[in-house]
Structure 1
Amino acid sequence: MQQKAASGGISAPSAGQEWRTNWLLVLSGMIGISIGTIPSATLGLFMEPLNQEFGWSRTQISAGLTVFAIVSLPLTPFAGMLVDRFGPRRVAVPGVAISAAVFAMFAFLTGSTLQWLFIWFLYTLASLLTRSLVWNSAISGAFSTSRGLAIAVLLCGTAMAMSLSPIVARWLIDSFGWRIGYLGLGFGWGGVAFFLSLLFFRDRRHMKQPSSSASAPVEMSRPGGLTLKEALRSLTMNRIALAIFIQSIMGVSIMVHLVPLLMDRGITSVEAVGIAALLGFASIAGKLLTGFLVDRMAGSLLPVTVFSMPGLAYLIFLTADTSIPVLSVAVIFLGYASGASLQMATYLTTRYAGLRSFGTIFGVISSLMALSAGIGPILAGAVYDITGHYTYLLMTGVPAAVVAGLCVLGLGPYPEFSPVEPETAARPARAAA
C-alpha cells in the first residue's frame, strides 16, 4: 500500500519497494553489526587456552570487558556525532576494517596482561565505529514504510553472532589453536563484513546528485529532526530514554543471574541451562514480531506492552516453584521483551527525534544502556549476597516494569520534520540574491 510522505503529499515507497531496493543494505548492515558482538560472545571459549598458555586467571581475562565498558560509556555519543557529520558509510567501512584487524591482534599475545588490556582498549576505540547506531542511521534513512521491520532484521545480526560465533570459535580453537581462532574470526568473519559493507552499505542521505545548472554535483537535503540540545530538553525523548534505562538495568540483571535464579526455584543446573537457552530465540522473535507490528500499529499499546512485559516474567518467577513449563514461559517473556525493547527504543528515537542528529542522540541513549548493563548485574549480585535470594530483586522489578511502560504511554503522534538544506547548496543561492 502506498503511503503519503510527510511533506508535499508525495507518495512514499511501499514496504515491498523499500525492501526490493534496499535488501542488500540491510544484509550488509546485519553482518556488519554482528562483528561488535564477537569478542564478548567468544571470550569464554578463549579463557581456558589463555589460562593454560599464560596462567591468567578468569578475573584477569574478564578485565578486558571492563576496559570495554569503561571506555565505551563516555565515547559512544562522539561516535554518533561522527555519523551525523560524515555519514554512516564513511564511519562503518573503515570501522569494520580496523575492528577486524585489531581483534586479530589478540593472536600475537605474549603473556603480558598490560598488552591484553591495551589491545582491548584499541578494540574498544575501533568498535565505536561499528555500534548499532551507525548501521541504524543508514537503515532508518532508507526505510520509512517498513522501518520497524528493517531495524528488527538489522538487530538480528547481534543474535546471529551470539549463536554462531561461539561455534566457529570452538571449531577453530580445537582444530588449529587459540591464535588461529583469533585470526580466523578477525580476518574471516571480519573480512566478510568488510567486503559486504564496502560493496553494499550506502546512505542516500549523504550522497550527491547532479546539478541542473552546473557540472558539479550538489549535496541532497538532509533529513530534519531535533538537535542534541533539543532532544535533551524534550520530555518525550527523556521518557523514551528512561524507559529503556529501566528495562535495561532490570532485564540485564535478571538475564546475567538467570541460571542461578532458576536453580533457586528448585530445578537442576541442566534444566536451568536448557530453559535459559530460550532467551536467544525469544529475543529474535521479539525483534522481528515487534518490528512487523510497529509499522502497522499506531498509538501507545505496543510500546507500553513491550516495556512492561518483563513485569509478567518477574511475577511468574516469584510465584512459580519447580514447574519447568511455567518457568519457560517467564523466560520467553523476558527474552521477547529484551529483543523488542531495543528495537522499540531505536524506532521511537527515529520517529520522535528524526534523523538529523540520530547518531548523537542515540549515542547518548546507548551510553545509558551501557551504564545500566554495568550497574544492574552488580546490584543484583549484591542483593543476593545480602539476602541469600533474588526475591527482593524480582519484587523491585515488577513496579519498575510498570513505570517503564508508563513512560511511553501517550507519547503522541509522530512529529513531521522539514528537511535541512545543505550549506553547499544554500551559499550560491544567497550569492545570486
Structure 2
Amino acid sequence: MANAQGELRGNWTLLVSACTGIICSSIVLPYYSIGALVVPVTEAFGWGRAQFQAAILFSSGLGALTAPLVGWLIDRFGARRIALPGIVGLSVGFLLASSMDGQLWLLYVAYGAMALLGAGTIPVTWTRAITTNFFRRRGLALGLTLSGTGLCAIVVPQYAVWMVDAFGWRTAYLGLALVPLVIALPVVYFGFHPREGLSGSDGSDAQPHWGLTLSQAFRSGKYWVLLVSVFLIYMAVSGIGPNLIPSLTDDGLSPAEAANALSVFGAAIIVGRVLVGYLVDHFWAPGVAAASMMLPVIGCLMLVGEPSYAGALLAALLIGIAAGAELDLMSFLAATYFGLKHYAKIYAVAYATLATCSGTAPMLFARIYDVTASYDIGFVISTGLFGLGGLMMLCLGAYPRQARLASST
C-alpha cells in the first residue's frame, strides 16, 4: 500500500501535466467547445446544423487516421517530443476557424488542421506515459489523467458561451486558440517528463516486458470485442455531447441552463474516471464496465421529450459517469489484455475507432434533428448502443496470465 501511494506522490507532476494535455487535446477541446458555437455560426452563414457538426468529422476523423502514426512516433521518439509541437498546432487550427467568411470548406480545413497539426496531443500520447510509469495504481492514475475530459466539459462550454455572448463567435475561436498556448504549453513543458521504459517507478521491473504485437492483437477475438464495444458506446457518447446544448435549448431551457447541464456532464466524467479507475484496480474491469454502462440507459430515456431543468441535470450526470468510465476502461483494458510492449500501436488503433465515432456521431445526431426537428430518436438509439456495448464487455473473459502475475507483485 505504501509503495502504491508513493507511486502516485512520486509522479504527481506527470499526472498534472498529462491531465492538462488531455484538456487541450485535439479531440477534447474542439469536441466540447463546438456545442456553444452551433447556433451563432449556423445563423451567421445559413448552414444546417449537420453541416456544421460535420466539422468534428474532420477533427476526429483525421485524428483517427493519424493515430497509428502517432503511436509509432511515440515509440520511436518519446511522448514529450510529440506532445509539445502538437499543442502549438492545435492553436493554429482554432486561429484558422476564426477567419471563416461563409465558405463551408474553410470550416472543414480549420478543423482538419486541428487534427493534423495537433495530432501529438491525442490521448495515445498521455496514456502511453501513464501506463509505462504506473503499475500498482495504473487504473487510478489513468482515471485522474483522463478526468481532463471532464474538466474540459465543465469549463470550456461556459467559457465559449461567455465569449460568444460578450464578443461574438470569431473572438470565441481566438479565445479557444489561447487555451493550449497559455495553459497547456507551459505545464507540459515543465512537468511532462515521462519515463519511456517499462520499469516501475521504483526502478524495478514491476511488470514483465510482455505484450502482443499489433498483428497478434488483430487475430485475437478479445481485441475485436473491445473495438466493437468501444464503437457502440462512443457512438452514443459522441452523438450526445456536442448536441446536448442545442437539444436542451430547443426544449425550452436557456443557453446558460443548457451550458450548466453540460458542465454537470463534465463533472460526472471526472467522477466516472476516478471511481472506475479505483474500481478496476480492485475488481474485474469488464464487470465494472457493464455495470457503469447501465446508467446512461436511464439518462438517455430521461432526455426524450421535454425534460425539466432538474431532469436534464440528472440525465447529464448519469450519461457523464458512463462517458468518464469508457475512455479510462479502454486504456486499462488495452494495457491489461494485450500488454505494454506494443501498447502505443494497439491503443492507437482502438483510439482510431473512438475518434471515428467522435467524428461521425455528432453529425448523424444533428442530421436526425434536421430531418425530424427533434433529437428524441437519437436519444432512443443511444439507449440501445449503451446497453449492448456494456454487455459486450463481459465477453472479454479472464485477465491474461501475465497480467495476473504482474498484479500480484
* C-alpha distance in structure 2 between counterparts of 1:200 and 1:329, whole Å: 36
* C-alpha distance in structure 2 between counterparts of 1:25 and 1:244, whole Å: 27
Which residue of 1 is the match for residue 6 of structure 2?
A: 17
Q: CA deviation at 1:412?
A: 0.4
* C-alpha distance in structure 2 between counterparts of 1:258 and 1:197, whole Å: 31
Bigger drift between 138-147 and 63-72 goes to: 63-72
Bigger drift between 299-308 and 271-280 goes to: 271-280
| Structure 2 letter corresponding to 1:352 | Y
> Unaligned regions of 5+ residues in structure 2, if any?
200-206, 405-409
Q: CA deviation at 1:143?
A: 0.8
Which residue of 1 is the match for residue 228 of structure 2?
A: 242
* C-alpha distance in structure 2 between counterparts of 1:230 and 1:269, whole Å: 50
8 Å Cα contact 2:54-2:362 kept in structure 1: no
- Aligned CA distance change for structure 1 residues 206 and 91 (closer, same or farther; 3 Å): farther
| Structure 1 letter corresponding to 2:283 | M
Pairing 1:312–2:303 present: no
Q: Indicate the SS of the match to 2:88.
A: helix
8 Å Cα contact 1:84-1:358 kept in structure 2: no
* C-alpha distance in structure 2 between counterparts of 1:24 and 1:203, whole Å: 10
* CA displacement 1:213-269 (0-9 Å, x = unmatched): xxxxxxxx99431111111111222112211111111233344554676689xx632
Which residue of 2 is the match for residue 218 of structure 1?
A: none
Q: Indicate the SS of the match to 2:22.
A: helix
- Aligned CA distance change for structure 1 residues 239 and 110 (closer, same or farther; 3 Å): closer
| Structure 2 letter corresponding to 1:106 | L
Q: Indicate the SS of the match to 1:81.
A: helix
Pairing 1:106–2:96 present: yes
- Aligned CA distance change for structure 1 residues 194 and 359 (closer, same or farther; 3 Å): same
Q: 2:356 aligns with which of 371, 383, 395?
A: 371
Q: CA deviation at 1:95?
A: 2.2
* C-alpha distance in structure 2 between counterparts of 1:396 and 1:169, whole Å: 29
Please report the TM-score for the alignment, with normalisation by the length of structure 1: 0.74
Aligned length: 389
- Aligned CA distance change for structure 1 residues 251 and 223 (closer, same or farther; 3 Å): same
Q: Indicate the SS of the match to 2:356.
A: helix
Which residue of 2 is the match for residue 346 of structure 1?
A: 331
The correspondence of residues 155-304 of structure 1 with structure 2, limited to 5 A, is: 155-166=146-157, 185-186=176-177, 189-206=180-197, 223-258=209-244, 268-270=252-254, 273=258, 275=261, 277-298=263-284, 300-304=286-290
Please report the TM-score for the alignment, with normalisation by the length of structure 2: 0.78
Which residue of 2 is the match for residue 426 of structure 1?
A: none
Which residue of 1 is the match for residue 316 of structure 2?
A: 331
Q: CA deviation at 1:281?
A: 1.9
8 Å Cα contact 1:313-1:334 kept in structure 2: yes
- Aligned CA distance change for structure 1 residues 241 and 162 (closer, same or farther; 3 Å): same
- Aligned CA distance change for structure 1 residues 373 and 179 (closer, same or farther; 3 Å): closer
8 Å Cα contact 1:250-1:376 kept in structure 2: yes
Q: Indicate the SS of the match to 1:408.
A: helix
Which residue of 2 is the match for residue 96 of structure 1?
A: 87
Q: 1:125 aligns with which of 105, 109, 116?
A: 116
* CA displacement 1:31-67 (0-9 Å, x = unmatched): 1222223344445667899899xx7455687664443
* C-alpha distance in structure 2 between counterparts of 1:116 and 1:390, whole Å: 24
Q: Indicate the SS of the match to 1:416.
A: helix
Q: CA deviation at 1:130?
A: 0.6
8 Å Cα contact 2:269-2:321 kept in structure 1: yes
Pairing 1:72–2:63 present: yes
Which residue of 2 is the match for residue 212 of structure 1?
A: none
Q: Indicate the SS of the match to 1:106.
A: helix
* C-alpha distance in structure 2 between counterparts of 1:21 and 1:313, whole Å: 38
* C-alpha distance in structure 1 between counterparts of 2:118 and 2:40, whole Å: 25
* C-alpha distance in structure 2 between counterparts of 1:182 and 1:240, whole Å: 36
* C-alpha distance in structure 1 between counterparts of 2:177 and 2:376, whole Å: 42
- Aligned CA distance change for structure 1 residues 43 and 300 (closer, same or farther; 3 Å): closer
8 Å Cα contact 2:208-2:402 kept in structure 1: no
The structure that has the greater radius of gyration is 1
Q: CA deviation at 1:17?
A: 0.8
* CA displacement 1:70-117 (0-9 Å, x = unmatched): 4223222221221223221221123223434x2474398485846665
* C-alpha distance in structure 2 between counterparts of 1:176 and 1:397, whole Å: 35
Which residue of 2 is the match for residue 5 of structure 1?
A: none
8 Å Cα contact 1:35-1:190 kept in structure 2: no
Bigger drift between 232-241 and 196-205 goes to: 196-205
Which residue of 2 is the match for residue 33 of structure 1?
A: 22
Q: CA deviation at 1:348?
A: 1.0
Q: Indicate the SS of the match to 1:403.
A: helix
Q: CA deviation at 1:19?
A: 1.3
Q: Indicate the SS of the match to 1:365.
A: helix
* C-alpha distance in structure 1 between counterparts of 2:301 and 2:98, whole Å: 48
Bigger drift between 40-49 and 353-362 goes to: 40-49
Q: 2:392 aligns with which of 380, 401, 407?
A: 407
8 Å Cα contact 1:316-1:327 kept in structure 2: yes
CA RMSD of superposed structures (Å): 4.0
| Structure 2 letter corresponding to 1:336 | I
